[in-house]
A and B are shown apart, each in its own frame.
Chain A
Amino acid sequence: MAKLEYHSEQKASPKMSVKDLNLYYKDFQALKSVNLDFPAHQVTALIGPSGCGKSTLLKCLNRMNDLVAGCQITGTVFLDGQDAYKEVNVNDLRRRVGMVFQQPNPFPMSIYDNIAFGPRTHGIKSRSDLDVIVEQSLRSAALWDELKDRLKKNALSLSGGQQQRLCIARALAVKPEVLLMDESTAALDPISTAKIEELVGELKDSYTIIMVTHNMLQARRVSDRTAFFLLGEMVEMGPTEILFSRPREKRTASYVSGEFG
């Protein structure tokens, strides 16, 4: 089944892809000529030990690395076939490629204002439009029923898991096409983690999801495809089932079997 999907997806043009991507922090090379496709409406997991470059790669996809002093990139990142660094405005790119961070980072404002922040940024001012977007986004993040009576409450009063789902709702409010998740369950308890994993499963029908995780079981549970990184290199990429059960590379095999981590 997975194999069939793999082949059919390979033919369709990917939602995002990176070609010969090299990234340097001053003298240190964090990514070494990475080539990778991210098919639309699939969950792609990036796994590998700490410092392997998986988060760095994720931050290249919405140009968050631009904010890091001394970070230099060669190669190309494509979004729908367009060069994300040359042909797309950076703010527009970040609207289309949303991000959820490792630590829940809601703004210290009301729940409503948190979600409305993005739409307001992109010019939506009418209260009724914003009301609709806030409700839709909270529903998509499975938070509406929990929070609909508390929209004026400060977002920092929510639990960690709720905060993270609020951040997902906030990212969805600008109607992105791709959702990047940078170890977004690493700071959460198992129940909250399960809720977010379930959510990811629902969201992939509407969005292309790329997630970094250090949790191999999570990658197995949630993702359609997995890429394994080691020391800045993309070692192997394939359908999740195959990468975990019959990896081509010896390094992948020893990592997924837990020999190092």
Chain B
Amino acid sequence: MAFSDAHGRRLKAAIVRWVIYGATLLTVAVLFGILGYILCNGVPNLTPELFAWEYTTDNVSLMPAFINTILIAALALTIAVPLGIGAAIYLVEYARRGNRFVMVVRAAAETLQGIPSIIYGLFGLLFFVTALGWRLSLMAGAFTLAIMVLPVIMRTTEEALLAVPNAYREASFGLGAGRLRTVFCCVLPTAIPGIVGGVILALGRCVGEVAALLYTAGSVAEVPNFLQQGFAAFFQPTRTLATHLYVLASEGLHTQETFATAVVLLILVITLNLGANFFAKKLGVKREDG
């Protein structure tokens, strides 16, 4: 009896183990399947014309879209990162526990995170593009993206701050540091890796977003000319890499170039992630050194 029990338990454990192995294997297989498919179809089509400075309907160059992607993501994050981190610092470090306002903000952020991006696009169209008269532009797109990723940055920063052990705060207060110094010299540096994780997530969403940008940033495949137009260039319509990919794919005329563009988008995202991680490590080790 005891023997068969032990046998049964061993069998069950083995089954569970194989199910877990299977799930892991499937996940990895899907990831590598997608990557491999895109790379196989895309890499052979990476031609120099694809990286020409000027876009024409013949070369379908991705270069303007590539630069626009970086511009719009940088602009969106410049707006969203300080706001998101600031809000999270308020919620975790300053607001009293169980504060009504905090609960409302938290619930709002959670809800906003779940809203489909097309809704943000619609809001951007109605508010930035129409009401503020920014037209389809880099600025309108960046602000729309900023609103979209704000809750992401806020929530992840909040989690990162909450994960900082209270012992650090106590130690800092115990040495006579005020709240400001405690937050900026003790809590934030400790939370940096988590915060950067959130920013990477936000960056990924910016770079990969199409729906929110179609009706706010437009799809003109040109880099705004800052040299000639100065500040007004922010209000020129732009096409990002993801939008470019969408347009190419839906036209269906340049399948090979579409795959090549996908490869570039993929490499861009991976590079940004690695770069951000590297940056986070640097920040994490070296802090206030004399």
Q: Do B170 and A64 have beta carbons less than 8 Å apart?
A: yes
Are B290 and A127 within 8 A (Cβ)? yes
Whole-angstrom CA separation of A108 from B96 in the bound complex: 26
CB-CB under 8 A from B185, the residues of chain A are 117, 120-121
Asked whether any CB of chain A lies closer than 8 Å to the CB of B288, the reply is: yes
Q: How far is the CA of A175 from the CA of B176 in the complex (A)?
A: 11
B287 touches A94 (CB 8 A): no
> Once the chains bind, are A118 and B288 in contact (CB under 8 Å)?
no
Q: Given A113-B287, A113-B288, A127-B290, verify A121-B177 contact (CB < 8 Å).
A: yes
Is residue A105 contacting chain B, with contact meaning CB distance below 8 A? yes
Say whether, besides A113-B287, A113-B288, A117-B186, A91 and B176 are in contact (CB < 8 Å).
Answer: yes
Known: A69-B96, A69-B97, A122-B176. A113 touches B289 (CB 8 A): yes
A95 touches B175 (CB 8 A): yes
Contact A99 B174 (CB under 8 A): yes
The smallest C-beta distance from B1 to any residue of chain A, in angstroms, reads 46
Q: A83-117: which have CB < 8 Å to B? A: 91-95, 98-99, 101, 103, 105-109, 113, 117
Of the candidates A62, A106, A108, A113, the one whose C-beta lies within 8 Å of that of B174 is A62
Interface string of B131-163 (1 = CB under 8 A from A): 000000000000000000000000000000000
Known: A69-B97, A113-B288. A121 touches B175 (CB 8 A): yes
Task: Give complex CA distance A120, B181 in Å.
Answer: 10
- Total interface residues on B, CB under 8 Å, equals 25
> Which residues of B are found within 8 Å of A69, using beta-carbon distances?
96-98
Known contacts A64-B170, A120-B288; A92 and B186 CB within 8 A of each other: no
**Which of A43-51, A166-174, A189-197, A239-247 lines the interface with chain B?**
A166-174
- Beyond A69-B96, A108-B190, whether A91 also contacts B177 by CB under 8 A is yes
Is B227 an interface residue, CB under 8 A from the partner? no
- Are the C-beta atoms of A174 and B168 separated by less than 8 Å? no
Interface of A is mostly: helix
Residues of chain B contacted by A118 (CB below 8 angstroms)? 175-177
Are B170 and A105 in contact, with the CB atoms below 8 A? yes
Let me know if A171 and B290 touch, CB within 8 A: no
Q: Is A132 an interface residue (CB 8 A)?
A: no
Do residues A105 and B173 form an inter-chain contact, with CB atoms below 8 A? no
* B-facing residues in A53-79 (Cβ within 8 Å): 62, 64, 67, 69
**Residue from A101, A108, A109, A174 in contact with B170 in the complex, judged by beta carbons closer than 8 Å:** A101
**Closest CB in chain B relative to A73 CB, distance in Å:** 17
B230 in the interface, Cβ–Cβ < 8 Å? no
Q: List the A side residues contacting B176 at CB < 8 Å.
A: 91-95, 118, 121-122, 174
Using A69-B96, A69-B97, A121-B181 as known contacts, say yes or no to A101 and B174 having CB atoms under 8 A apart: yes
* Least CB distance, B257 to chain A, in whole angstroms: 48
Q: Considering only CB atoms, which chain B residue lies closest to A93 in the complex?
A: B176
Flag whether B114 is at the interface (Cβ < 8 A).
no
Tell me whether A117 and B170 are in contact (CB under 8 A): no
In the complex, which residue of chain B has the Cβ closest to the Cβ of A126?
Answer: B290
B171 at the interface (CB under 8 A from A): yes
| In contact, B178 and A101 (Cβ under 8 angstroms) | no
**Is B252 close to A, CB under 8 A?**
no
For B289, the closest partner residue in chain A by CB is A113
B6 at the interface (CB under 8 A from A): no
Which of A67, A95, A101 meets B171, CB within 8 Å?
A101
Known: A94-B173, A121-B181, A170-B175. 20 other contacts (CB 8 A): A64-B173, A64-B174, A67-B173, A69-B98, A91-B176, A93-B176, A94-B175, A95-B175, A105-B168, A108-B168, A109-B287, A113-B288, A117-B185, A118-B176, A120-B288, A121-B175, A121-B176, A127-B290, A171-B174, A174-B175
Q: List 9 A-B residue pairs with CB atoms under 8 Å apart, sorted by A's residue number.
A: A64-B174, A67-B173, A95-B175, A95-B176, A117-B186, A120-B185, A130-B290, A167-B171, A171-B175
Chain B residues within CB distance 8 Å of chain A: 96-98, 165, 167-178, 181, 185-186, 189-190, 287-290
Interface residue ranges, A against B (CB under 8 Å): 62, 64, 67, 69, 91-95, 98-99, 101, 103, 105-109, 113, 117-118, 120-122, 127, 130, 167, 170-171, 174
